[in-house]
Structure formats: structure tokens, C-alpha cells
Amino acid sequence: MSPPNISPLWTSEEIERATLGRASAPFTVTGLAIDSRKLQPGELYVAIKGENKDGHEFTANAFENKAGAALVSKSVEGGPTITVAHTQRALEDLARAARARSAAKIIGVTGSAGKTTTKEILKLAFEALGQTYASGASFNNHWGVPFSLANFPREAAFGVFEIGMNHFGEIRNLVSFVRPHIALVTTIAPAHLEFFGNCEAIADAKSEIFEGLMPGGFALLPVDSPYCERLRARAKQIGVTNILTFGSAQCADARLISVEEAASGIRLKAEIQGKAIDAVVGAPGAHIASNTLGALLAVSVAGGDAEMAAATLADFAPLKGRGARIKAGNIEIIDESYNANPASMVAALALLSKAPGRKVAVLGDMLELGPQSPDLHAGLAAHLAAADRVFLAGSNMKSLADVLSGASYAANSAELAPLVTEAVRDGDTVLVKGSNGSRMTVVIDALKSRFGG
Ligand SMILES: Nc1ncnc2c1ncn2[C@@H]1O[C@H](COP(=O)(O)OP(=O)(O)OP(=O)(O)O)[C@@H](O)[C@H]1O
Ligand SMILES: [Mg+2]
């Protein structure tokens, strides 16, 4: 993943200084890679020891793919190396050094759903103002955040970083690398409930992001969330004084005035810190409107022109597995197979209810919800009134199947797929959604091979 750099991302001397490592020869690199298969020529291959594999096994492959150098903790052959005591720690050292040398405005994004979506909206919006770098994919964990920062171009004017967690203390650690000027919480919802037990605890864990704010930094909160006041109280405790909100409540600093459907997306009217905005966003849904408000509020508090930034958002497109539309012959698939929790399920079902043709919901398990899981699954029944056909897969979805008459049920997505392909007809819109582990992509593949596309 090479960002477009004007000067090299790192010189060997800089890496030596940051990591206290030793370079075998002078070199420069244009980016970093931890997967040798995805490495671009000229990048630094970082050999991380994972749970199953040790990245040192793939240094030969990295050099075959023209790595500029390899960052290692054992001796390897094939090209220039920098040897450090521990590669994960060295990645963190580089992250801190990248952050320290940057004069950019930094935005950190967390929340139970919508982090990547909001990060991508922020990236488009801030690009209207200056060179913007955003972390790749969903790189939001103990290696993803340092990796993203270590890839941060020195010239960038803005940096957008996704920060995730499934335990207390995780965000506290990650935000210490990011040190954002603006911390945005997208939403609080029952995700990872298995560990946390309740949403108050989830809000508290997300609030750790405020601990890493730069002095004078901004906390941006989702005003329509029932946990907004708890987030505010936590931010205040931490000493944050600039606390602003986005959403549809009258008091919001970024306030939604209206949202209506527009060509493959939404047109929203809003007031961002007193400034009227009229924007088309190239993806549908109330959750996209909320994420957009948060992003435009970030632009505004960063001193940017929210109107100019908003003008870029027609180019936003729903992301793969998170609302991307797939035309397969004469049917339309809404691909929501990447993840699911009660909040994103409700958002996606609201979208389906407005879709053309017969509305078919194909839902897989929402994972990691703990003891409340049966109730949370059964509770989706209230949001399925508009669906013409409902297909459910997985042991958790059994709780919904039990209370929903007329739904077709199978133990897993592979067994469900033929039932779906048999029932779907030309003109239907088919929402396919579930946690990644429920493997709902199997259904999408089956629909594609049946209908084409
Ligand atoms: N503000 C929101 N509120 C509720 N649901 C949302 C919101 N934004 C996006 N979603 C839904 O959540 C799903 C996941 O979105 P996204 O990948 O952006 O989340 P994430 O927080 O990055 O997830 P992860 O923790 O897996 O990285 C999307 O498919 C969409 O349906
Ligand atoms: Mg993500």
C-alpha cells in the first residue's frame, strides 16, 4: 500500500533512529507492507510474528516482489535489511516517529459500526482541502493502527485513522499512537457484547479515544445515540472542553435538516456549525447521513470549508460488503456480508424497505452478542415488516426464525443458498447480511452464478 509520496517515506537512517535497529546498507522505501504478496516494489517488508505464521518465512517472497528492504529480528538473505529487537515494537516505533514528524491535522474514528465507512467519507471530504491519508481497509487493531501510521506520508495535510477494540484498554493504547486533534465516535451499539455485557461499558471503552486527544482537541459525538450523554460525561472527566455533536436533534452542532433519496444515494440538507449545506452523497441510508454529518463537522472544526468538502461526496460509493450494490442479471443484491450487529442490521433493513421490486432479506448470525443474543436476534422481527421473503441461516438466527412465521431457515449459509436462489425472481432486491463469520458471501456467490454478474 504505497501512498503517493513526494519524498521517500523512510530512509534507513530514519528507521535506525526510530527503532534503534541496524541497517545492512543505506536504503529508502516508499511504503510498508506486512503481507509479502501485497507488497509493491520499493516498499519495506515488515516481518511480523502472528498467531499462526512468522512473517520471517516470507522475506524471500518479499524480495522476489522487489521489496526495498526488510525489517526483521533474525538474519535473512536476499536484500537490504534492518535488524531490530522486535518487529511489532519496531512498527510501533515507526508509528510514533511518523506521528511526531507530521504537521498534519489528525482525525481518529471509533464506534461500534460505521468506522470504515466514515473514514472513507472523511478521506473524500478532506481531500477537497489538502493531501489526505487514511488508514487502509479496516486496519484498526494492535498492528493495523501502527501500520497505518508508519505509512503516513510526511507531507500529508490531513490524516484519518480508524481505531477499533474489543476489550477495555485497547483504544487507550492505540490512540496514544494516533494522538488525534479530532476524535469522532460514529455510534454506540451492542457489538462485542459477549465481552462487555452492556452498552454503557461499550461507550466507556470507546471513550478511551478522548484520552489521546491533543490539547484543545475536539470530541465529536452522535447526538441521537442513547449513550451520547455518557460519552459526553466521559469526555468531560478526561478534561476535553470542545465537545460537539452531530445528528438530527435540534441542538446538534451538525444538524440534519432533511434527507431524501437521490440517484443511488441521498441528498441531505444540513446545518454545520451554522452553515447551510446541501449535499448529494453516493450511498443510501440514514446511517450514511449520520456518518456524513460527523465527517462534515470534523471538516468544519478543522477550519475547512464544509460546503466544499460536501461537494466531493457524490463520488462516495458504498463499500464492498457494506452496502455495495451488485447487479446480477435482473436482480439487485445489497452486499452487507462483511459484518452485522443490531444497529447495522436495522440500518440495512431500513434500506431494504425502500428498495424497488420484491424485497428479500437473507440474514446470517450476528456474532459475539453474549447472553442477550437470542433476544437481539428475535428483536429483528419488528424491522422485517416490509420484507416480502425472509431467509435465515445459523444457530443464532434460529431465535428469529422461531418468532417469524413464513421465514425459511437453514443451519448455515451453504444450506440456505439453494433455497434463496430457487425463490428469487427477476426484479427482486436481495439484502444479504450477517457477521463475516456467518459466511453469507456464499449466498451472494450462488445468486451471481444463478443470475449472472
Ligand atoms: N452510523 C452507523 N450506524 C449504524 N450502522 C452503520 C453506521 N455506519 C455504517 N453502518 C453499517 O455498519 C456496517 C459496517 O460498516 P463499517 O465497515 O463502516 O463499520 P466498522 O465500524 O468499520 O466495522 P469493523 O469493526 O468491522 O471495522 C455497514 O454495512 C453498515 O450497514
Ligand atoms: Mg472497519
Q: 111: annotated binding-site residue? A: yes
**What is the Cβ-side half-sphere exposure of residue 83, based on CA atoms within 13 angstroms?**
9
Task: Please indicate, yes or no, whether residues 441 and 371 belong to a single structural domain of this protein.
Answer: yes
Q: 38: annotated binding-site residue? A: no
Alpha carbon of 26 to ligand 1 centroid (Å): 43
Task: Please indicate, yes or no, whether residues 372 and 264 belong to a single structural domain of this protein.
Answer: no
Q: Which residues pair with residue 430 across a beta bridge? A: 333, 360
Checking if the pLDDT of 5 tops 50, the result is no
Residue with CA closest to ligand 1 atom 15: 114
Task: Please indicate, yes or no, whether residues 139 and 225 belong to a single structural domain of this protein.
Answer: yes
* Domain closes at, from 315, 346, 365: 315
Contacts of 379 (CB under 8 A, 6+ apart): 342
Residue with CA closest to ligand 1 atom 5: 344
- Residue 1, in any domain of the structure: no
Task: Please indicate, yes or no, whether residues 309 and 328 belong to a single structural domain of this protein.
Answer: no
Query: Which of 123, 170, 322 best tests ligand 1's pocket when mutated (most atoms within 8 Å of CB)?
Result: 322
Supply the pLDDT for residue 429: 97
Residue 335 structural domain: 324-451
Checking if the pLDDT of 177 tops 60, the result is yes
Q: 379: annotated binding-site residue? A: no
Is residue 113 in contact with ligand 1, taking CB distance under 6 Å?
A: yes
For residues 94-112, average pLDDT: 97
Query: Tens digits of per-residue pLDDT, 179-198?
Result: 999 999 999 988 777 888 89
166: domain CATH number? 3.40.1190.10
For the chain, the residue count is 453
438: domain CATH number? 3.90.190.20
Query: Which of 109, 110, 112, 116 best tests ligand 1's pocket when mutated (most atoms within 8 Å of CB)?
Result: 116
34: domain CATH number? 3.40.1390.10
Point out the least confidently predicted range of 105-109, 111-115, 217-221, 282-286.
282-286
* Domain closes at, from 64, 87, 110: 87
Is residue 335 in contact with ligand 1, taking CB distance under 6 Å?
A: no
Average pLDDT, the chain: 94
Point out the least confidently predicted range of 11-15, 231-235, 288-292, 350-354.
350-354
Number of CB atoms found within 10 A of residue 375's CB = 11
Task: Please indicate, yes or no, whether residues 355 and 379 belong to a single structural domain of this protein.
Answer: yes
Task: Please indicate, yes or no, whether residues 138 and 117 belong to a single structural domain of this protein.
Answer: yes
Task: Please indicate, yes or no, whether residues 19 and 163 belong to a single structural domain of this protein.
Answer: no
Name the residue type at position 73. S
* Domain closes at, from 315, 335, 354: 315
Q: 117: annotated binding-site residue? A: yes
Contact (CB, 8 A) for 157 and 132: yes
Tell me the chain's radius of gyration from C-alpha atoms: 23
Is residue 148 in contact with ligand 1, taking CB distance under 6 Å?
A: no
Query: Tens digits of per-residue pLDDT, 363-390?
Result: 999 998 989 999 999 999 999 999 999 9
- Residue 348, in any domain of the structure: yes
- Residue 153, in any domain of the structure: yes
Supply the pLDDT for residue 6: 53
- Residue 269, in any domain of the structure: yes
Query: Tens digits of per-residue pLDDT, 408-418?
Result: 999 999 999 99
Is residue 348 in contact with ligand 1, taking CB distance under 6 Å?
A: yes
- Residue 96, in any domain of the structure: no
Supply the pLDDT for residue 347: 87
Task: Please indicate, yes or no, whether residues 269 and 121 belong to a single structural domain of this protein.
Answer: yes
Query: Tens digits of per-residue pLDDT, 131-158?
Result: 999 998 889 999 999 999 999 999 999 9
Supply the pLDDT for residue 338: 92
For residues 410-438, average pLDDT: 96
Task: Please indicate, yes or no, whether residues 74 and 154 belong to a single structural domain of this protein.
Answer: no
Task: Please indicate, yes or no, whether residues 113 and 183 belong to a single structural domain of this protein.
Answer: yes
- Residue 4, in any domain of the structure: no
Query: Which of 112, 115, 116, 117 best tests ligand 1's pocket when mutated (most atoms within 8 Å of CB)?
Result: 117
- Residue 353, in any domain of the structure: yes
Task: Please indicate, yes or no, whether residues 283 and 329 belong to a single structural domain of this protein.
Answer: no
Q: Tally the domains of the chain.
A: 3
What share of the chain has pLDDT > 90, as a percent? 87
Is residue 30 in contact with ligand 1, taking CB distance under 6 Å?
A: no
What share of the chain has pLDDT > 70, as a percent? 98
DSSP annotation string for 282-331: SS-SHHHHHHHHHHHHHHHHTT--HHHHHTTGGG--PBTTBBEEEEETTE
Task: Please indicate, yes or no, whether residues 167 and 306 belong to a single structural domain of this protein.
Answer: yes
Query: Tens digits of per-residue pLDDT, 316-351?
Result: 998 889 889 999 999 999 999 998 999 889 989 998
Checking if the pLDDT of 443 tops 90, the result is yes
CA distance 267 to 292: 11
Checking if the pLDDT of 110 tops 60, the result is yes
Query: Tens digits of per-residue pLDDT, 346-358?
Result: 989 998 998 889 9
Point out the least confidently predicted range of 21-25, 95-99, 174-178, 335-339.
335-339
Residue with grid cell 518487529, as numbered in its chain: 87
Supply the pLDDT for residue 189: 87
- Residue 65, in any domain of the structure: yes
